[in-house]
A and B are shown apart, each in its own frame.
Chain A
């Protein structure tokens, strides 16, 4: 029932983007993929989606994701890309209905079951007041919910999110991740998401996979993966970890002293509550 990758490698244009990446996550868990820019986070998600050719083993619910058909894969996993293309004039209802595509035969028409799944997804994301509105007229937060509703109506046990918080303000970041967490619990979804923000990764993910130049630098519980030394080594960033009840509650970058003429200030004291 788990999602597992074993020595997964991806080579694009002669360059090795992923090198023998192994990971495993239990059903209902949230796996966060972290790492600096260019570490291979998005490529790993694209390998799961079958959008790039990968070698090694990749299984979900005991199915080999390398040989699975396009439609079967779409029934197993729903994906929310970093910047989804939103057809401006399409209505919310029509957009959410697109999530049912893998369940409708090639030249077929949506059934009652497809319509109820669509309706249910729109209820779950509180979109029922906006059914007939074109996507371009929605606010940023409403668009996010419409995108999630489309993924939810797909009714797949695995949800992939590529940097779901990019370009969102702090309030929207919180609400999007909160919604994903709620949907995950309600529907027992396995979630895999790449994340830039280490604090959010620590707060929401059950398990983290830290990538560095295409290889696994660390993986496991957030407390094990998020270490000041490894973050310094891999990201080249000086951070301070905030802990709460033995768990990482925040990853705070320290202000760098850029001018050698300046005196070294004492780091601000941060105390965990």
Chain B
């Protein structure tokens, strides 16, 4: 029982950064833009968050700076995919490579000479339920985890399905011509979606450096952005189903951490467990992705005649 509760506790913690990024990607893809800049935006957000927090001594300032950097990244993605209408695969990957290079460049420039890797005091864990059974352990989470699961996800669902703005986002991802004919500015809606997406992706990256690790490392994101893209397809572009997917990935990852911590002498290398969440994600994608209903205008640039 204890094992299961502590596993679930770790699951929520691990799922947070991927869920933030995946909700961001959901906004982008619902509006018709595949943002492969996600991995770089997370990595850049992780660096900017860490650097600014280290510089100012304020974690919240760091987080705000990270979100701002994500918004800028979203604007660049929008410039290429919406205004210029170039291939989304190539421009997104280009953005990821650019942002990864920039973060590594700045990290080397600012912290290159040090012998020990720099670290900061990370966000504290909240403990609202004290010694209550189960909830006491399960509730020991970062404020950002609470915000992600209880505010960001329901808000995304409400925005996308129950507001005029959400309707516009979904419509420009399905049939931009019709939306344009109805007098809505397609470009503006897609820009808005990509800005929200970028901010959330960078927040997901900053969660890793400011909460989970209290440090910035080269492998801090290590493919989590790509997992997030898979989860969006798995979750059929629905925030709640995407959340379910992030819990499956988080659960596999947490299980792997627990097994390592137990120090079992297993006949297989521990990297097998590290690779497991990625393999599980592929399996989930195959099971759910076969019937995936992609937004009809995904990958298609819109040009007004």
| A is bound by B | no
